[in-house]
């Protein structure tokens, strides 16, 4: 785990030296702030985080997290430093986990900023701490999945723009399109499959305050699958 921690620190430090990371941070804060202000404090609407979380935050993360992950491996591929990294005394699994944890730590900074909103809601009424914990568990899980997807596509190409577009397309399909397609089928295995693949459907229960183990398993398993695919992609490069 020493190599993983070193790589994670390296990636986290690289974010603070990258203008893209600050652009992502600014975009996230601006977009979430606008969504919170317009959706939460609308006349006649409930003053809660539900409106913000059940659609807007998910949509924002689909856009910003691919930009956060696009350089993780593609930058190494473009600069030719991937060969140096892979000849170092680290395994492909350690490289992937280190880069994943570095991006995830930066993501924690992003969602920590959302703690301001419950503090503002305290002026309008009590905020249920158990519900807030459930919200953040959901945000941690969905963020981990999105980062794993972005990391995989970053390992597939040396072009960062291509990595962003591929990540965004797959995340949009997993988050929104699968749920919309499921509604077109009245019954059957295809409807069940699409519902199970819908990230947004799994995340909604966390927004409602329901901590269902099935949803936790879905996010952890899917994240693990994309991390595994990323490791295999790097192993393929070793033999090319």
pLDDT, mean of residues 208-221: 88
Q: Report whether 136 contacts 111 (CB < 8 A).
A: yes
Phi and psi dihedrals of 74, rounded to 5? Answer: -60, -35
User: Whole-angstrom Cα distance, residue 220 to residue 215?
Assistant: 9
Looking from the CA of 224 toward its CB, the CA atoms found within 13 Å total: 6
Share of the chain above pLDDT 70, in %: 84
* Helix (H) or strand (E) segment spanning residue 136: helix 129-156
- Whether 14 shows a pLDDT value over 70: the answer reads yes
Q: Report whether 86 contacts 234 (CB < 8 A).
A: yes
Closest C-alpha among 66, 34, 65 to residue 52: 34
- Whether 45 shows a pLDDT value over 60: the answer reads no
DSSP string for residues in 55-107: IIIHHHHHHHHHHHHTHHHHHHHHHTHHHHHHHSS--HHHHHHHHHHHHHHHH
* pTM score above 0.85: yes
Q: What is the pLDDT of residues 149-199, one digit of tens each?
A: 999 999 888 888 999 999 999 998 888 765 555 555 555 555 555 666 778
The confidence score (pLDDT) of residue 121 equals 76
Helix%, strand%, coil% for the chain, nearest 5: 80, 0, 20
């Amino acid at each position: 785990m020493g190599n993983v921690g070193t790589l994670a620190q390296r990636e986290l430090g690289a974010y603070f030296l990258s203008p893209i990371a600050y652009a992502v941070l600014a975009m996230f804060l601006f977009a979430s702030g606008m969504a919170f202000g317009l959706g939460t404090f609308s006349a006649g609407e409930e003053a809660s985080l539900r409106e913000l979380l059940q659609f807007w935050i998910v949509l924002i993360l689909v856009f910003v997290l691919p930009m956060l992950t696009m350089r993780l491996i593609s930058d190494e591929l473009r600069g030719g430093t991937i060969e140096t990294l892979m000849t170092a005394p680290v395994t492909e699994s350690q490289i992937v986990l280190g880069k994943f944890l570095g991006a995830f730590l930066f993501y924690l900074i992003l969602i920590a900023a959302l703690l301001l909103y419950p503090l503002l809601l305290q002026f309008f009424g009590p905020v249920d701490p158990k519900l807030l914990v459930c919200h953040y568990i959901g945000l941690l899980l969905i963020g981990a999945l999105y980062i794993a997807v972005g990391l995989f596509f970053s390992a597939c190409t040396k072009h960062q723009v291509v990595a962003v577009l591929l990540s965004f397309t797959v995340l949009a399909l997993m988050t929104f399109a699968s749920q919309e397609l499921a509604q077109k089928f009245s019954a059957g295995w295809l409807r069940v499959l699409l519902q199970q693949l819908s990230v947004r459907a799994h995340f909604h229960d966390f927004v409602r305050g329901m901590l269902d183990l099935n949803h936790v398993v879905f996010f952890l398993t899917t994240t693990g699958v994309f991390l595994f695919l990323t490791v295999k992609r790097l192993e393929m490069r070793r033999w090319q």
